[in-house]
């Protein structure tokens, strides 16, 4: 079928203006993000949607826009949250923590915390406070957001002790001391680093389950978290506009979660084993997406375009690096780093000219790699990128304005020694 939607999907979207030409032609091209935005919201408006918006059953939101332009969307209220809760409740390794009533403590970007504070302030008809207090950081009766600072590397002891106290309060409210820890893997790794640095291990109750989502989690970070916590550590993959599509089990193997969805994989370049993720979804009834290019890249176990054999979500299509050997993704560099040393925490590839690059990195223990490993990593990165590579150890790599890390940069120059 060459990725074309089934007749029942066509029937569900035939009255939506953005799809009318495709319905008439009998062929749906890949839906790109600019097409979603062109003429918005009229290009999505139907009588059903107009009624839903008036009744409050649908709402306008913005995508997170971390490393790409933010995009206007229409969806049911709490669409992504309900997708998360359902997946959590059905996950074979951690569903029991949902059913035991564990509350969810979320440690992710400060932008997420600020969004929750704005939503709560709007409910009260007030302006959000510059530093939202605890009662304004509950999204609902199940989820609390912790982070109040853009760069987790800059958390001071007062920040960490406040967050740990809030976690303890959530844990203490559960009959068995249980709680579910939701996070960006980077943010949680920073917290673990601070806890160990200041000897606060006993102040952090051990979670019953952990999910990391929101951005690509490097291999060493995932390994570090699994070694530190004695509970399942699960990866979720999804997006604001789609909900969640795949989850890992406790061993890191991915499983599809494609209710009301289907997926195609298309090579990002001829002969490449990196594939673009193309999704058809009617999970959001107010903005169904047909053959939508999510912007995400994946690799499969055997290099074939089989969505059931996805082995890794390897970064964003717009952030691929062109090399003489074909495009390189974030996960390709990450694999090289993890193969040389499990001590590397953050890393960023900085392009310093047409033929050179610099790999800036931090370590979990703050010490640079020894000379043999540093040389091995320089050689491996040079082989991957086709550029001469120099390695530089940093004590700090700045986080982006979105609260997420960029793996690839032009000569940044601003990173601290």
Q: Indicate the helix (H) or strand (E) that contains 264.
A: strand 261-267
* pTM greater than 0.85: yes
State the pLDDT at residue 2: 63
Compute the distance between CA of residue 14 and CA of residue 228 in angstroms, rounded to an integer: 51
State the pLDDT at residue 336: 98
- Beta pairing class for 103-107 and 356-363: unpaired
Q: Residues of the chain whose pLDDT is less than 50?
A: 1, 65-68, 414-417
3-state SS string for 392-407? EECCCCCCCCCCCCCC
Compute the distance between CA of residue 291 and CA of residue 5 in angstroms, rounded to an integer: 8
Compute the distance between CA of residue 74 and CA of residue 413 in angstroms, rounded to an integer: 40
Compute the distance between CA of residue 108 and CA of residue 187 in angstroms, rounded to an integer: 6
Maximum CA extent, the chain: 67
Both tokens of 76, joined, read 């049911």
> Which residues on adjacent β-strands are paired with residue 265?
277
State the pLDDT at residue 64: 57
Compute the distance between CA of residue 243 and CA of residue 144 in angstroms, rounded to an integer: 20
User: pLDDT tens for residues 63-94?
Assistant: 754 444 578 999 999 999 999 999 999 999 99
């Amino acid at each position: 079928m060459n990725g074309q939607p089934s007749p029942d999907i066509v029937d569900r979207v035939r009255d939506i203006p953005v799809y009318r030409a495709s319905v008439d032609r009998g062929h749906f091209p890949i839906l790109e993000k600019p097409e979603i935005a062109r003429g918005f919201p009229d290009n999505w408006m139907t009588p059903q949607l107009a009624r839903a918006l008036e009744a409050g059953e649908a709402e306008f939101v913005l995508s997170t826009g971390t490393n790409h332009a933010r995009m206007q969307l229409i969806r049911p209220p709490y669409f992504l949250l309900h997708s998360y809760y359902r997946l959590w409740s059905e996950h074979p390794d951690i569903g029991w923590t949902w059913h035991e009533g564990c509350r969810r403590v979320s440690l992710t970007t400060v932008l997420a915390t600020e969004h929750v504070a704005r939503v709560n302030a709007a409910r009260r008809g007030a302006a959000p406070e510059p530093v939202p207090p605890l009662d304004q950081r509950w999204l609902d009766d199940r989820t609390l957001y912790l982070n109040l600072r853009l760069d987790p590397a800059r958390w001071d002891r007062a920040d960490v002790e406040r967050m740990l106290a809030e976690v303890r309060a959530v844990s203490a409210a559960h009959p068995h001391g249980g709680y579910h820890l939701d996070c960006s893997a980077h943010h949680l790794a920073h917290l673990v680093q601070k806890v160990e640095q200041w000897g606060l291990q006993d102040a952090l109750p051990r979670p019953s389950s952990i999910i990391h989502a929101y951005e690509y989690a490097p291999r060493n970070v995932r390994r570090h978290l699994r070694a530190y916590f004695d509970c399942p550590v699960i990866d979720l993959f999804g997006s604001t506009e789609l909900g969640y599509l795949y989850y890992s089990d406790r061993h890191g193997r991915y499983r599809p979660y494609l209710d009301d969805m289907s997926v195609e994989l298309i090579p990002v370049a001829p002969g490449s084993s990196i594939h673009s993720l193309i999704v058809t979804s009617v999970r959001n009834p107010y903005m169904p997406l047909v053959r939508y290019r999510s912007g995400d890249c994946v690799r499969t176990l055997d290099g074939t375009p089989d969505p059931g054999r996805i082995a890794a979500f390897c970064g964003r299509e717009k952030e691929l690096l062109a090399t003489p050997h074909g495009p390189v993704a974030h996960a390709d560099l990450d694999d090289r780093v993890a193969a040389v040393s499990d001590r590397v925490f953050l890393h960023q590839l900085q392009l310093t000219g047409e033929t050179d690059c610099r790999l800036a990195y931090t370590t979990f223990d703050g010490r640079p790699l020894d000379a043999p490993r540093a040389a091995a990593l320089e050689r491996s990165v040079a082989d991957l990128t086709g550029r001469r590579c120099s390695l530089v150890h940093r004590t700090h790599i700045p986080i982006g304005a979105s609260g997420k890390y960029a793996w690839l940069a032009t000569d940044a120059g601003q990173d601290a020694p």
